[in-house]
């Protein structure tokens, strides 16, 4: 039997739009907008000013706290603005805008580090931090912080998340097919940095070619194994992945390390490998540009900071009238109101849904069918929490474990009454957090 | 590029396509099976009753929503289901006007007065039936077969009053006295299995309900097969104890609901004043549903100790 978790849904995956298309290098952008807070944690502080000339790979933002990472220029050129700009996370974020000089010159500081075999664990962690590497699955947690767990946690397992359960997105799939060596080198670096002897790569069974590709690469590697998972959303959710692979559960309110596990995305491993091989920080990533509203769906290797409009134009532009432009997939992606925002480190996909493909509904009353209860991978009662949220009963919502919601969207997806359950729970969570701060 | 406005709503951005009306019309389709059985055994008067109660239920819903200044949602199919279910629970010879009264009560007192769809604590069709049962006791317990004009007692009444059992085959296929949709266990089970297959009925409820009736009646020295196949149990177990609005959310809650309904059904059948207790037992368990929900909150992912 394939490994999986309880609950979840089977949405249409629509991955065949891009899963056979090789990764393509995007053209050099004329301008990049680089937000200082693409990661979870404190935003970095800009260390360049308007008028400065910068080179590719040069540090332009300094991390000032432990849970943070530095930010780097992804092209060479002139800094034309250092100011708050709209960014895909919503609202404004301090950003550095660079106009390209067209030369794409490498910064003098970029040199390949010593080979992995000669690096100490601390050196590896430091390299990862200085390269600005964050989780590339979407949330953007600083990778080095993940690798620096206290020894008493007895972390004994590394899980590499290559489930890629979001519909449409194929960035990790193509990565596993085209650069399996990089993924495995990244895993070896994480193993060495943490001293953990066991790593599992979780891949859904709708990507068996990727399973083969990785299996070939790890044939003579000690301690690395592939785990084939059932294709079910949200199989790539951190908690669901841990449950499926190890049978362990992350305690409520805890972190994966509380279950003795650290989870890293396959893309993150490749980013680590890239830094080990070239010395380059994280300045580019693979993004799947896809959807019914895109003329030529592609897997693009883009520079961080490339405005969305440039990316869409490189894929033939819009097909029909765009209804929604999503950063990420259709289940958890963030709807964008403007195309002037940049792609960031967590942009695994850019999904354009054609206007006629959107189904916007008026919610009707809950008929207590409990489909949301069956679909919830955390085993919550989404309808009950949502009802409390609609009545501003935040304490009751908390009692029914609102804070454990992972916002995967399964409940809203299945609700026959079209109630935006996930949104109600999200609102409850923000109020609960605000109330906790007051205490 | 053309003019366009990007829509920003919160995730998720896709939907399964499931809807309340799809669920309700699937239930209505499944209910056609016992309706056919009713027509087959009791003639077109059975069909007449189904049509009359359905129309009365839908009209009552529309009028009430109009009075409450709410959008009229009769197209969602829920009033149709209530109307059909009520008719299937009536004696085939009941005067039409009484059936209309039942449908009006079902929708008004059973559903709209609480705020409409999703807000009613009790199964509306059963509220209508119990109202008729108490108000028009004699017509509601007179089992005339409109086809040949004969009167025959229901198998449960025969058992209770005279100790006469009825042939299993007749009970299974429905050639017995009774409400117009409750007699054919065979067609009810097929309809129920269709809804289980579609995912609109959780098998837990019929299984725990029927199972507890069988076990309890056997313990009390009764014939469990007879009790399973007679009266309104099959119709109740597959179509009324499974009403989403008035039954618990969690699996465990559904089991408790089914077992409780089974317990009260046997209790009323064997020791109560009425020969049949399905309606009362389901309504009773409907009343317990909020309490059951409160005590059967599922254990969530992560209720484990940190390492």
Whether residue A273 is found in the same domain as residue A389: no
Whether residue A219 is found in the same domain as residue A116: yes
Q: Is B300 on the interface with A (CB under 8 A)?
A: yes
Q: How far is B155 from chain A (nearest CA, A)?
A: 34
Q: How far is A117 from chain B (nearest CA, A)?
A: 31
Picking from A368, A390, A406 by the largest number of B CB atoms within 10 A of its own CB, the best residue to mutate is A368
Chain A residue numbers touching B202 (CB-CB < 8 A): 370
Write down the pLDDT at residue A361.
87
Architecture of domain B20-290: Orthogonal Bundle (1.10)
Per-residue pLDDT of chain A (439 residues; tens, 9 = 90+): 688 899 999 999 999 999 999 999 999 999 999 999 998 889 999 999 999 999 999 999 999 998 999 999 999 999 999 999 999 998 899 999 999 999 999 999 899 999 999 999 999 999 999 999 999 987 889 999 999 999 888 999 999 999 999 999 999 999 999 999 999 999 999 999 999 999 999 999 999 999 999 999 999 898 999 999 999 999 999 999 999 999 999 999 999 999 999 999 999 999 999 999 999 999 999 999 999 999 999 999 999 999 999 999 999 999 999 999 999 999 999 999 999 999 999 999 999 999 888 878 889 999 999 999 999 999 999 999 999 999 999 999 999 999 999 999 999 999 999 999 999 999 999 999 999 998 7
| CATH code of the domain covering residue A180 | 3.40.50.11540
Q: Is residue A227 part of a domain?
A: yes
Pick the last residue of a domain from A211, A244, A278.
A278
Domains in chain B: boundaries: 20-290
Which residues touch B91 (CB under 8 Å, ≥6 apart)? Answer: B139, B140, B141, B142, B143, B144, B178, B179, B180
Q: Is B71 on the interface with A (CB under 8 A)?
A: no
Chain B residue numbers touching A325 (CB-CB < 8 A): 6
Chain A residue numbers touching B246 (CB-CB < 8 A): 368
> Residue A264, SS3?
strand
| Closest CB from A254, A365, A384 relative to B117 | A365
* Domain that includes residue A243, residue range: 111-278
> Residue A202, SS3?
strand
Write down the pLDDT at residue A78.
96
Write down the pLDDT at residue B307.
66
Kindly determine whether residue B11 and residue A365, on different chains, have CB atoms separated by under 8 Å.
no
Whether residue A126 is found in the same domain as residue A258: yes
**Pair B139, B96: CB distance under 8 Å:** no
Pick the last residue of a domain from A244, A278, A312.
A278
Whether residue A401 is found in the same domain as residue A274: no
List chain B residues with pLDDT less than 50.
none
Q: How far is B197 from chain A (nearest CA, A)?
A: 14
For chain A, how are helix, strand and coil distributed in percent, rounded to 5? 30, 20, 45
| Closest CB from A9, A337, A423 relative to B10 | A423
> Residue A362, SS3?
coil
Q: Is residue A65 part of a domain?
A: no
Closest CA to B307 of A191, A195, A156, A144: A156
Phi/psi at B137 (nearest 5 deg)?
-60, -45
Chain A residue numbers touching B16 (CB-CB < 8 A): 9, 11, 413-414
pTM: 0.93
Pick the last residue of a domain from A241, A258, A278.
A278
Work out how many domains chain A is built from and give that number: 2
Kindly determine whether residue B13 and residue A400, on different chains, have CB atoms separated by under 8 Å.
no
Q: Is residue A411 part of a domain?
A: yes
């Amino acid at each position: 039997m394939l490994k999986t978790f309880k609950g979840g849904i089977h949405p249409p995956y629509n991955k065949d739009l891009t899963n056979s298309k090789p990764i393509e290098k995007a053209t050099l952008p004329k301008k990049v907008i680089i937000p200082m807070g693409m990661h979870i944690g404190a935003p970095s502080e800009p260390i360049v000013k308007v008028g400065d000339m910068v080179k590719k790979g040069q540090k332009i933002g300094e991390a000032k706290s432990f849970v943070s990472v530095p930010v780097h220029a992804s092209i060479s050129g002139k800094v034309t603005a250092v100011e708050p700009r709209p960014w895909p996370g919503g609202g404004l974020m301090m950003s550095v805008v660079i106009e390209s000089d067209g030369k794409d010159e490498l910064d003098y500081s970029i040199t390949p580090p010593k080979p992995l075999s000669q690096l100490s664990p601390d050196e590896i962690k430091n390299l990862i931090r200085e390269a600005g590497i964050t989780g590339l699955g979407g949330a953007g947690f600083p990778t080095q912080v993940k690798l620096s767990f206290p020894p008493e946690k007895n972390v004994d397992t590394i899980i590499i998340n290559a489930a890629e359960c979001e519909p449409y997105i194929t960035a990790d799939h193509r990565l596993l097919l085209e650069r399996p060596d990089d993924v495995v080198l990244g895993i070896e670096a994480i193993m060495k940095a943490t001293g953990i002897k066991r790593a599992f790569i979780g891949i859904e069974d709708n990507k068996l070619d990727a399973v083969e590709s990785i299996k070939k690469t790890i044939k003579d590697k000690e301690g690395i194994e592939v785990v084939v998972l059932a294709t079910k959303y949200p199989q790539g959710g951190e908690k669901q992945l841990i449950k499926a692979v190890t049978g362990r559960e992350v305690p409520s309110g805890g972190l994966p390390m509380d279950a003795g596990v650290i989870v890293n995305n396959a893309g993150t491993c490749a980013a680590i490998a890239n830094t080990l091989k070239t010395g380059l920080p994280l300045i580019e990533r693979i993004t799947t540009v896809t959807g019914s509203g895109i003329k030529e769906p592609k897997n693009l290797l883009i520079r961080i900071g490339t405005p969305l409009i440039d990316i869409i134009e490189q894929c033939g532009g819009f097909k029909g009238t765009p209804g929604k432009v999503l950063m990420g997939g259709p289940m958890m992606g963030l709807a964008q109101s403007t195309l002037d925002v940049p792609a960031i480190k967590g942009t695994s996909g850019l999904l354009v849904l054609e206007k006629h493909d959107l189904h916007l509904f008026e919610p009707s009353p809950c008929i207590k069918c409990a489909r949301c209860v069956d679909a919830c991978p955390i085993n919550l009662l989404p309808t009950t929490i949502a009802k409390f949220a609609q009545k501003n009963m935040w304490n009751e919502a908390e009692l029914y474990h609102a804070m454990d919601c992972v916002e995967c969207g399964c409940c809203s997806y299945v609700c026959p009454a079209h109630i935006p359950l996930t949104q109600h729970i999200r609102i409850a969570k923000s109020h609960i957090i605000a109330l906790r701060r007051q205490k | 590029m053309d003019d366009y406005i990007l829509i920003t709503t919160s995730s998720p951005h896709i939907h399964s396509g499931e809807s309340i009306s799809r669920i309700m019309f699937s239930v209505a389709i499944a209910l056609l099976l016992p309706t056919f059985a009713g027509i087959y055994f009791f003639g077109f008067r059975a069909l007449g009753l189904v049509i009359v109660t359905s129309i009365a239920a839908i009209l009552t819903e529309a009028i009430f929503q109009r009075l409450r200044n709410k959008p009229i949602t009769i197209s969602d199919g829920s009033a149709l289901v209530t109307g059909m279910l009520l008719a299937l629970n009536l004696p085939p010879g009941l005067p039409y006007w009484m059936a209309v009264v039942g449908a009006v009560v079902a929708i008004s007192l059973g559903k709209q007065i609480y705020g409409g769809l999703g807000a009613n604590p009790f199964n509306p069709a059963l509220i209508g039936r119990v109202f008729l049962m108490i108000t028009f006791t004699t017509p509601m317990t007179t089992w005339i077969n409109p086809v040949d004009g004969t009167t025959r007692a229901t198998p449960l009444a025969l058992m209770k009053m005279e100790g006469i059992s009825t042939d299993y085959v007749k009970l299974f296929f429905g050639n017995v006295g009774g409400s117009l949709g409750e007699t054919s266990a065979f067609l009810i089970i097929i309809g129920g299995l269709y809804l289980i297959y579609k995912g609109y009925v959780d098998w837990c409820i019929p299984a725990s309900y029927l199972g507890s009736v069988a076990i309890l009646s056997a313990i009390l020295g009764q014939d469990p097969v007879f009790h399973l196949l007679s009266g309104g149990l099959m119709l109740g177990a597959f179509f009324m104890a499974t009403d989403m609005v008035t039954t618990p959310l969690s699996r465990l809650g559904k089991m408790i609901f089914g077992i409780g309904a089974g317990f009260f059904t046997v209790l009323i059948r064997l020791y109560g004043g009425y020969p049949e207790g399905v309606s009362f037992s389901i309504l009773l368990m409907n009343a317990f549903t909020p309490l059951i929900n409160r005590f059967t909150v599922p254990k969530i992912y992560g209720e484990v100790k940190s390492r």
